[in-house]
Amino acid sequence: MPVTVLLVDDEPLVRAGLRAVLEAQPDIEVVGEAADGAAVVPLVRRLRPDVVAMDVRMPLLDGIEATRALLRSVDAPPKILVVTTFENDEYVYGALRAGADGFLLKRARPAEIVHAVRLVAEGESLLFPASVRRLAAEYGDGSGNRAARAVLERARLTEREGEVLRLMARGLTNAEMAARLVVGTETVKSHVSAVLAKLGVRDRTQAVIAAYESGFVAPG
């Protein structure tokens, strides 16, 4: 059965774009739209979507409040994917703290958007930039190991991939990692690609950021 999605954005253009991108997928179905946060809860109750793709900046009720309202008043709430224009939007962090499962840039490429919807639908959280911060915080700051392990499990990194991420977060190049791990550089590249894909990031720089932000590695 397909992944059902509810679109919540005050701009019709954005909704149309998301719909076009998502409907092009055989396994994704857009079941409804809303133009503001106030309409979200009743719509979710009625349509029971798997995923809500929600703008943060909206009239009446913004994405943060709508997220909170959903998690509070709906049982078996849908996965919430925060949609935003800017990556450093204060609202984004607020929404993630409020319990959103991931975030998505409006200027993301269609494939990334589809990917994000599928991921959150499966229960994954999009690690970048900050959604696992909560996770790390829950485990307290002292126990870096447990936080790291939680990140591993959440992102489904294999042991080897975690090792590679750790070395990346120490500034090693692929060649240096290959030397240290006693494997070929092509092998390291494979692991790196897997890590980038699983973390939902673009390059090693963002992977390192995710590692720090999630508590997978800690300063000091």
Contact partners, residue 156, CB within 8 Å, separation at least 6: 124, 198
Measured from the CB atom, the residue of 44 and 164 that comes closer to DNA is 164
Choice from 28, 77, 128, 152 touching a second copy (CB under 8 A): 128
The pair phi, psi for residue 181, each rounded to 5°, is: -90, -5
Distances (CA, A) of 84 to 58, 108, 147: 11, 10, 27
Under rule CB under 7 A, how many of the chain's residues touch DNA? 26
Measured from the CB atom, the residue of 20 and 137 that comes closer to a second copy is 137
DSSP secondary structure, 100-126, as one string: --EEEETTS-HHHHHHHHHHHHTT---
Binding flags for DNA, 97-136, as an x/- string (CB under 7 A): --------------x-------------------------
Decide if residue 205 touches a second copy (CB under 8 A): yes
Contact partners, residue 53, CB within 8 Å, separation at least 6: 5, 6, 7, 8, 9, 18, 81, 83, 104, 117
| 141 φ/ψ sector (left φ>0, alpha ψ -120 to 50, else beta) | alpha
Decide if residue 1 touches a second copy (CB under 8 A): no
CA pair distance 208, 29, nearest whole angstrom: 34
Residue 114 Cβ vs a second copy, minimum distance, rounded to whole Å: 10
- Restricting to residues 73-112, name those near a second copy by CB under 8 A: 87-88, 109-111
Decide if residue 123 touches a second copy (CB under 8 A): no
Is-contact 53 31, C-beta < 8 A?
no
Binding flags for DNA, 41-70, as an x/- string (CB under 7 A): ------------------------------
CA pair distance 77, 98, nearest whole angstrom: 13
Distances (CA, A) of 59 to 11, 56, 132, 190, 196: 11, 10, 28, 45, 35
Under rule CB under 8 A, how many of the chain's residues touch a second copy? 33
Choice from 4, 84, 174, 214 touching DNA (CB under 7 A): 174
Decide if residue 183 touches DNA (CB under 7 A): yes
User: Residues interacting with a second copy, by CB under 8 A?
Assistant: 26, 87-88, 109-111, 128-130, 133, 137, 168-173, 176, 180, 201-206, 208-209, 212-213, 215, 218-220
User: Residues interacting with DNA, by CB under 7 A?
Assistant: 111, 156, 158-161, 173-175, 178, 181, 183-184, 186-187, 189-193, 196-197, 202-205
